[in-house]
Chains A and B, each alone.
Chain A
C-alpha cells in the first residue's frame, strides 16, 4: 500500500500552465477510473478539484483539468493565478482501500 508518486514541486509564471504527474500501479491508478485531485492551502482542509480522473466539481474553474494514461494520472492547471499556489495531492481507489499521492507544492513565480 505505497503512496502514489508525485514530483515534490512544480512552478510557473502567471498565465502559464503547469502539469503534475501521479504515478501508481495497475492495482490503483491503472486499474480504476477513480483518481481524484485535491488542493490544500496552508492551514486549511483539502479541497476536491478533480474526481474520476477528469470530472470537475461545481465551482472549480475550468483551468483545472485531469487525465490518465496507464498507471499515471495528471493534473494540469492552465492560466496560472496567484491563488493556485498550494499543495496538490492525487488519490486513487486501490481495490477496497484508497491511497494518496506524496504531494506537489505548486509555486506561482
Chain B
C-alpha cells in the first residue's frame, strides 16, 4: 500500500521560513510528477506547486511564486517544500500528493500556522 508521510509543519512568525518534507513508500516515486496542495482552516483545496519526475520542471501558484521552492530527491523517495517570507494567509494543512493532475495518493497533511 502506498504511504505518503509529511512532516515539518508548525508555528512560525510572519516573515519566517519553514521546510516541509514528504517521504513516499511502496510507490515508483521517480516515475511521477509530485504536487503540494494546501487547505486553509475551514476552506477549500488550493493547488500550490508541482515538480516533474526528474525535477527539471517546476510550477507554482502565483501567490507563492518567488517565496516557495519545490524540490525532490528520487534516491530518497522524498519531496520537499521550502517556504520563505511566510504570511498569515499561508496558514493551512499542506498535503503531499502523487501525480501532476490526477491526484491518486495523498498524505495525511502537515499543519503550518503563521502567526505572531
Contacts and interface: CB of A to CB of B under 8 A. Distances in A.
B45 A46 contact: yes
Which of the listed residues A3, A48, A89 has the most CB atoms from chain B within 10 Å of its own CB?
Answer: A48
B61 interface: yes
Contacts of A45: 95, 106-109
Interface residues of A, number: 26
B85 to A, nearest CB: 19
Nearest to A35: B101
A47 B37 CA distance: 13
B101 A93 contact: yes
A36 B103 contact: yes
Interface of B: 35, 37, 44-47, 50, 59-62, 95, 100-104, 106-109
Given A45-B108, A46-B95, A98-B50, 18 more contacts: A3-B44, A38-B45, A38-B103, A46-B45, A89-B44, A91-B45, A91-B101, A91-B103, A92-B101, A97-B59, A98-B35, A98-B47, A100-B37, A100-B44, A100-B45, A100-B46, A101-B44, A103-B45
A13 B46 CA distance: 30
Main secondary structure of the interface of A (DSSP, over half): strand
A3 B47 CA distance: 10
Contacts of B50: 98
Contacts of B108: 45
A84 B35 CA distance: 26
A74 B70 CA distance: 32
Nearest to B107: A45
Contact of B104 (A48, A97, A103): A48
29 contacts: A1-B61, A1-B62, A34-B101, A36-B101, A38-B45, A38-B103, A40-B45, A45-B107, A45-B109, A46-B45, A48-B104, A51-B102, A57-B104, A87-B44, A89-B45, A91-B45, A91-B101, A91-B103, A93-B100, A96-B59, A97-B47, A97-B59, A97-B60, A98-B47, A98-B101, A99-B47, A100-B37, A100-B44, A100-B47
